Structure 1
Amino acid sequence: MRVLFQYNWQVRDEWFQWCEQLAEVELLRPRTGGVGSILETLFHIVDVEQAWISGLQGKPEYHHRFEEYASLEAVKQLSDRCRPDVERFVTNWSPELEKKKFLEFYYGEVMRHVIAHEIHHIGQLSIWSRELGLKPVTANLIRRGLV
């Protein structure tokens, strides 16, 4: 489980770097699919991850408002601020949590959903990148030094 979260974080950081080559207007341009724009999609990935993991920790599930993070730097800072809490939970994951109930779900099911959710949206970013004539961030898990 931890390797896939680490993979997602590495790829997310690489997308943040990739975004630095684009003008803000291009980051905010509405796109087909996803949750709107490139920047809104990256924000959504961070927000959903922290909300689910907060819920699994028994904390209130809080969703941030994109309007308060409508710049690349602000979304990167939100990601950096939320990640340590998520990382602690992921690092302390144990098999006993797998079948623990959370609402109508199991903890293991929610964790896999969070992983798959980010991978899904990263695929959308890759398509948009090619539409812009740019090379996307590699989705390859191999050679990332995670295993």
Structure 2
Amino acid sequence: MYLKKQYNLVLESRNVLFDYCKTIKNEDFINENSSFGRGGSMRNLLVHIANTYEFWIANISLKKSIVFSPYENYQNIEDVLKLFLSIDEFMDDFFELTEKSDNEIQYERNGQKTRTEPFKIFTHVITHEYHHKGQILSLSRHLGYIPVDTDIIR
């Protein structure tokens, strides 16, 4: 129950960012800046965030086979919004899984078998999202925009 409640706070904050991104010129949204990681564009950073949810939540936790799309498949904020709708769908499956069981999730990473609890995976993906959200806002400032407050408490 608390995971879903916390994710709803993440969604509110994410939607503030998405509304802000709708005000960014598309050429700026997809413009790659080598000073920022993961391809250095707002679009690429958002797709990277989604890919991380796909990897840890869908592939590792839910044992789905999600194939990551290249950044170039998402040409504007509307395309990115559709990608995140798919993220929200399997997050609902993740919440159902965590309500049914506190079992650890087994996975292999870098050739090593390991396990962790669902709460740790969930914490990882949301803190990862906020890290890159800060980069997106900073990148937009470098492009001459005035970032919005995307904190959970605003």
What is residue 52 of structure 1 aligned with on the other side? 56
Q: Could you tell me which residue of structure 2 aligns to residue 122 of structure 1? A: 133
User: Which of these residues, 36, 60, 67, is aligned with residue 33 of structure 1?
Assistant: 36
Instruction: Please state whether the residue corresponding to 1:63 is helix, strand or coil.
Output: coil
Aligned length: 143
User: 1:78 maps to which residue?
Assistant: 83
| RMSD between aligned residues | 2.3
| Cα separation, 1, equivalents of 2:18 and 2:25 | 13
Counterpart AA for 2:145 = L
- Identify which of 90, 94, 98 aligns with 1:89: 94
Residue 99 of structure 1 corresponds to 104
Q: Secondary structure at the match of 2:98?
A: coil
Any idea what SS the aligned residue of 2:19 has? helix
Query: Is residue 131 of structure 1 aligned with residue 142 of structure 2?
Result: yes
Residue identity over aligned pairs, in percent, reads 24
Instruction: Return the offset for 1:92.
Output: 4.7
In the alignment, structure 2 segments of 5+ residues that lack a partner are: 109-113
SS at match of 2:53: helix
The residue matched to 1:102 in structure 2 has which SS? strand
Which whole-Å CA distance do the structure 2 matches of 1:111 and 1:34 have between them?
Answer: 22
Q: Counterparts of 2:67 and 2:102 in 1: how far apart (Å)?
A: 22
TM-score, normalisation: structure 1: 0.81
Structure 1 stretches of 4+ moved >6 Å = none
Residue 98 to residue 7, structure 1, CA distance change in 2 (3 Å): farther
In the superposition, relative to structure 1, how do residues 97 and 60 fare at CA in structure 2: closer, same or farther (>3 Å)?
A: farther
Q: Give yes or no for contact 1:8–1:118 (8 Å, CA) kept in 2.
A: no
